[in-house]
Amino acid sequence: MQLGLSVSDSDVSSFTPLVVLELADDTKAEAITWLLNRIRGKQQNGGAELLVDQLLFPAQDGQKSNQNVFVVGSTLQRLLKGAEDVGLFKEFQDGTMRGFTYANRESFKDFYGDGEGFLSDAECQYIIKHELDTLRAKNEEHVPGYPKVKLYPGKSVVRRLQSKGVLVQYFPLHNKEDLKRLSFSWYKKIKLSFQPLDDIRHYFGEGLALYFGFLEYFTFALVPMAFIGIPYYLFDWEDYDKYVLFAVFNLVWSTVFLEVWKRCSATLAYGWGTLSHKKAFEEPRAGFHGALGFNPITGREEPVYPSSKYHLRIYLVSVPFVLLCLYLSFYVMMVYFDMENWAISIYNENPNLATGILLFVPSIIYAVVIEIMNLLYRYAAEFLTNWENHRLESSFQNHLVLKVLVFNFVNCFASLFYIAFVMQDMVLLRQSLATLLITSQILNQVMEAFLPYWLQRRRNKKVHKRMRRMMGDKELPLLEQVQLETEMNTYLGTFDDYLEQFLLFGYVSLFSCVYPLAAVLVVLNNITEVYSDAFKMCHVFKRPFSEPAANIGVWQLAFETMSIISVVTNCALIGLSSQVKAYFPESETQMILIVVAIEHVLLAFKFILAFVIPDVPKHIQVKLAKLEFDSLEALKKRQYENV
């Protein structure tokens, strides 16, 4: 089984290193000894039964390097037993996906001999992370050498060390050979083909593979919208009949797009064994704090934080803060409209090329300010959500997503709604939408691709120069790789990637009937996004730990909510068109009632369509039902034998 880069005895470690663990350089010796003993200790004694070795970096430029860097690995048997502990699903001999058990290991497809190659690289590292995270305190009252760092019986040791800064970071190592093969098939050759999602999943895990699967699916789904949008943009797209047809197609497209994606993600998740994966019991977050109390569910002592304080922090601090940020966003928007009026007045006084270009300057400045405000708010939202002291990581993520989505939606789309429904200026709406979309795409490409690439190249050169100066002609590839990856940026998850696609989906679905070219611009952006994101994952960020995922989570609900809002927006835009108003010259109320009725009909059609299209394909439903039936039959048989 090729678990990582091969390391010989001369390269410091006698086993295959999978995970790097870095402690603070001033960590007390007794704390290091205690932690290593727990990692190496037998499971029955509360240890993880893993292999761990220290990496010794020579002094550089007269300064001592951090010597508290360790590599962690495991025996094959320990990994296979760990696969059962974490509940990995693997393909059985009959083609169904079943939870792996060590006792029945030979009944699983692709298990040959002692199981060499049965587990993927990402799965092995995920198992090691699980074993490290579940190292629990026993009778220790505090971390050895740190009397103020209290330990609570049954709580995660690694999470405690992280929250107190003793453990700086731990991350999985890249596999150079596998990474080279993946890079070549993924982004190094320009091709009109699907991404190697199975290879991405094999190397990075299901969560990241699902993001790239969604990015690819979204891009292909936009192609029909783009093809229809081009003639609308080039020809008589103000014509009422064509206008309505495009809006209705937009609404049907957004519904079918999301419903079919559910089926695609279910198919992918079943093939990867995560569709039936049961979520493990959540441990408290590393940053969660409170007075020592008793957990009635686990029976363990752990920090307890009163729910009254938790809710007071949310409703008396977080909610007012978010409302204040929204007010600032509206204030900036009104400043933008003042700038817009100023540019228009100058153009009207002296229409020429220079003043014509000046018309686009306010929108460009506003688009840049929006991106800066989104970035600053993101940091503030993370700080505030952390301060709220959520016990579980899932609760933390949900509150963070809600805060960020509300602000980003208002910050990015409020000006467009104001132009469309207050000013009712369709020409300015098209201009603003195009400028915001194009400027945000350029800024995202610079910030997400070019800048990280340039910084990483500089960092790589410094590390290579430093290692050559320290080691001379002696080759120590592991030391150099660990040194390089230790200094890489940490990948913070798919949050920002999904957020970008969510905003692009909003630009397409909310106002595309006014600016049909939006889908074309998003397609072009996403094509470059695939390659830039692939490069970042392979060469800019540390390798993230694999996380099992069956779908895109809360983002599915976010996209569906945006789709519902788009129905209201497009119907309102149709009602504002001069052609519609011409049909009701005397009764505006009648026009409004008819538009609202049409909106309700479209919403009803949308929900019926969502209900008719099943989330999981029929053949997968049959396989899942068969698996459940077999499990019940096996349980009955076992109970009968015990009688």
Write out the DSSP string of 460-526.
HHHHHHHHHHHHTT---HHHHHHHHHHTSBPP--SHHHHHHHHHHHHHHHHHTTT-TTHHHHHHHHH
Is residue 355 over pLDDT 70?
Answer: yes
> What separation in angstroms does the CA of 584 have from each of 246, 305, 570, 579, 593?
22, 61, 19, 9, 11
State which of 112, 143, 173 marks the end of a domain.
173
> Residue 200's pLDDT is what?
93
Is residue 8 over pLDDT 60?
Answer: no
> Residue 295's pLDDT is what?
67
Kindly state whether residues 155 and 203 are assigned to the same domain.
no
pLDDT tens sequence across 134-170: 888 887 888 888 888 888 777 788 888 888 888 999 9
Report, as an integer, the average pLDDT of 416-438.
85
> What separation in angstroms does the CA of 351 have from each of 77, 425, 426, 483?
78, 20, 21, 59
Percentage above 90 pLDDT, the chain? 18
Q: How many domains does the chain have?
A: 2
Smallest CA-to-CA distance from 525 within 595, 592, 443, 586 is with 443
Report, as an integer, the average pLDDT of 365-376.
88
Contact 210, 265 (CB under 8 A): yes
Kindly state whether residues 286 and 235 are assigned to the same domain.
yes
pLDDT tens sequence across 261-307: 999 999 999 888 888 766 655 667 766 766 767 666 666 666 777 78
Determine, yes or no, domain membership for 331: no
Determine, yes or no, domain membership for 442: yes
pTM of the model: 0.86
Kindly state whether residues 88 and 25 are assigned to the same domain.
yes
Determine, yes or no, domain membership for 500: yes
Kindly state whether residues 99 and 218 are assigned to the same domain.
no
Kindly state whether residues 84 and 195 are assigned to the same domain.
no
> Residue 9's pLDDT is what?
37
Report, as an integer, the average pLDDT of 116-134.
89
Q: What does the mean pLDDT of the chain come to?
A: 82
**Band of residue 210 on the pLDDT scale cut at 50, 70, 90:** very high
Determine, yes or no, domain membership for 8: no
Kindly state whether residues 530 and 558 are assigned to the same domain.
yes
Kindly state whether residues 242 and 136 are assigned to the same domain.
no
**Among 7-11, 447-451, 571-575, 635-639, the least confident range:** 7-11
Q: Which residue has the higher pLDDT, 173 or 149?
A: 173
> Residue 209's pLDDT is what?
93
Kindly state whether residues 168 and 204 are assigned to the same domain.
no
Report, as an integer, the average pLDDT of 210-238.
83
Kindly state whether residues 74 and 138 are assigned to the same domain.
yes
Q: Which residue has the higher pLDDT, 524 or 300?
A: 524
Determine, yes or no, domain membership for 341: no
> Residue 387's pLDDT is what?
87
Token duo for residue 370: 């929006």
Report, as an integer, the average pLDDT of 392-403.
84
Is residue 310 over pLDDT 50?
Answer: yes
Kindly state whether residues 97 and 192 are assigned to the same domain.
no
> What separation in angstroms does the CA of 632 have from each of 193, 421, 455, 625, 642?
42, 58, 56, 11, 15
Q: Which helix or strand (DSSP H or E) is residue 635 part of? A: helix 618-642
pLDDT tens sequence across 52-76: 998 877 665 555 667 788 999 999 9
> Residue 171's pLDDT is what?
92
**Among 164-178, 418-432, 433-447, 574-588, the least confident range:** 574-588
Pairing of strands 69-73, 142-143: unpaired
Kindly state whether residues 74 and 150 are assigned to the same domain.
yes
Report, as an integer, the average pLDDT of 429-457.
78
Report, as an integer, the average pLDDT of 376-394.
86
Tell me which residue range forms the domain holding 131.
Answer: 19-173
State which of 173, 202, 220 marks the end of a domain.
173
Report, as an integer, the average pLDDT of 34-45.
89
pLDDT tens sequence across 456-477: 667 666 655 655 555 554 455 7
How many Å separate Cα 216 from the centre of its chain?
15
**What single DSSP character describes residue 72?**
E
Token duo for residue 44: 């029955």
Determine, yes or no, domain membership for 452: yes
> Residue 5's pLDDT is what?
39
Q: Which residue has the higher pLDDT, 571 or 467?
A: 571
Report, as an integer, the average pLDDT of 413-438.
85
pLDDT tens sequence across 575-597: 777 777 777 777 778 778 888 88
Kindly state whether residues 152 and 225 are assigned to the same domain.
no
> Residue 221's pLDDT is what?
92
The residue type of 365 is I
